[in-house]
Structure 1
Amino acid sequence: MYTGLQHLHSGLAYLVLLALILVITYALIGALSNRQFSDKDRKIALIAFILSHIQLTVGLILYFVSPLGFEMLKSGSAMSDSAVRLTAVEHPLINIIAIVVITIGYSRAKKGTVSKARFRSIYMMYAIGLLLLLSRIPWSIWLA
């Protein structure tokens, strides 16, 4: 089960990053072209929103069944080793914050009334979320 969750979490990460990049680009083009924000635009943003939340859910499950996650935090050795601190503390915390930022961006766009502001909410908040996600990916583990 643990290995399957690891593969799912790693594979889904590629989809989330790709979806975020595409949605950010799409929203930026929509804002720059002064296009009206439509239901189609909201649904396109919803794809990255849903994928990022699924990724978070899988990640949280993995965090509690992994020997590198919650167990390292409980043992107290997480803060003294930077690699362990990344996987046990920084990665989950910053990624939760990133998903919250993406959620705020989607919610603001969904409730907004001005098209340009709705597009801006998506591309700015999703971009901040993407940067946070990229900053805490354990590259040495992920690309190995």
Structure 2
Amino acid sequence: MYYFIQKFHSGWAYIALLVLVVAVVTFFSGMFSKTEFTSANRKIGLIALIVIHIQLLVGLILYFVSPLGFASLGQMSDKALRLTSLEHPLINIIAIALITIGWSRHKKLVTSASKFKTFSIFYGLGLLLILSRIPWSMWLA
């Protein structure tokens, strides 16, 4: 079971990153080109939100069944264990919270420019935080 969850979390991460990058590029291009915010833009934001929340859910399950997660919290002197048991989950939860805040805030806004700006800021910060804490040595191996 652990092996399946770990492989799913790693594989789904490619999809989550791709969808999030597409969303951020779409929102930044909409902001700079001053186009109208459409239902397609809204759907891109929603799909990114759903995909990233699925990644969070699988990651939380993995965190509690993995020997590199919650069980290794006491070994903070090891850089790799600190990344997988503390930094990666904590920073990614903050990133997903920012993405969720961006989604919630856009609903209250009226103008297209403000919607694109809100999405660009919150989804962009979330993407940067996620990219900063990916365990690249484990992921690409």
- Match for 1:81: what amino acid? D
Distance 2:64 2:6 in 1: 12
Which residue matches 1:54?
Answer: 54
- Match of residue 8 from structure 1: 8
- Matched residue, 2:17: 17
Map 1:22-61 to 2 at 5 A: 22-61=22-61
Q: In 2, are the aligned partners of 1:37 and 1:115 still within 8 Å (CA)?
A: yes
Name the CA distance, whole Å, in 2 between partners of 1:27 and 1:54. Answer: 22
**Cα displacement string for residues 12-39 of structure 1 (whole angstroms, at most 9, x for unaligned residues):** 1111111111111111222222222122
Q: Quote the residue 1:119 is aligned against.
A: 116
Match of 2:124, as an amino acid?
Answer: A
Q: TM-score, normalised by structure 2?
A: 0.96
Aligned counterpart for 2:79 among listed residues 82, 107, 124: 82
Distance 1:104 1:8 in 2: 26
1:42 corresponds to which letter in structure 2?
A: R
Deviations 1:27-59 (A, max 9, x none): 122222222212221111111110000000000
Instruction: Give the gaps of 5 or more residues in structure 2.
Output: none
Residue 65 of structure 1 corresponds to 65
Deviation string for 1:92-144 (max 9, x for gaps)? 00000000011111111122111101011111111110110011001111011
Please list every run of 5 or more consecutive structure 1 residues that lacks an aligned counterpart in the other structure.
none
The answer to whether the Cα contact below 8 Å between 1:42 and 1:110 also exists between their aligned partners in 2 is no
Alignment-mate amino acid for residue 47 of structure 1: I
* 1:50-108 deviation line (CA, Å, top 9, x unaligned): 000000000000000001101111xx22x111111000000000000000011111111
Calculate percent identity across the aligned residue pairs. 58
1:138 to 114, 125, 135: 135
Q: Which runs of 4+ in 1 moved over 2 A?
A: none
In structure 2, the residue corresponding to 1:111 is in which secondary structure? Answer: coil
1:99 aligns with 2:108: no
Question: Which stretch has the larger CA shift, 133-142 or 103-112?
Answer: 103-112
- Bigger CA drift: 105-114 or 55-64? 105-114
Q: State the number of aligned residues.
A: 141
